[in-house]
A = this chain, B = another copy of it.
Amino acid sequence: MRDRPIDIDRLFHALGDPTRRAILDRLVERPMSVSQLAEPLGITLTAVAQHLQILKDARLAHTEKVGRVRTCRIEPAGFRALEQWVRDHRTAWEKKLDRLGRLLAEEDVDT
């Protein structure tokens, strides 16, 4: 069922790749150029640029080109959306766990 990518799809997809998480981990430390990002990754500049596009689509990073250098930074919006998703779903899961707990307790008495 391949349907239109919604925000949360892009987010999870972006975070699902170890190279992209490594990029984010380094950008958390400080803003960096595409070349600087590429250096320890052992992949081409092109590949890094492609990862950056995906991170940008997920609003986990943003970039700005000045002269010939593109400077990359993390952007909090994507991360905050993830936090929101987790918050929204935690409630549902907790309710389910409560109910499961109650059912198990009832079984002890009841069955």
A67 at interface by CB-CB < 8 Å: no
* Residue contacts A-B, CB under 8 angstroms, 16 given: A1-B18, A1-B19, A1-B41, A1-B42, A6-B18, A9-B18, A12-B12, A12-B13, A12-B16, A25-B92, A28-B92, A28-B93, A29-B96, A76-B97, A79-B90, A79-B93
Compute how far the CA of A83 lies from the CA of B86 in the bound complex, rounded to whole angstroms.
7
Secondary structure at chain A's binding surface: helix, strand, loop or mixed? helix
| In contact, B76 and A83 (Cβ under 8 angstroms) | no
A68 at interface by CB-CB < 8 Å: no
Least distance between A39 CB and chain B CB atoms (Å): 14
List of B residues within 8 angstroms of A34 by Cβ: none
List of B residues within 8 angstroms of A90 by Cβ: 79, 83
| CB nearest to A31 among chain B residues | B100
List of B residues within 8 angstroms of A95 by Cβ: 28
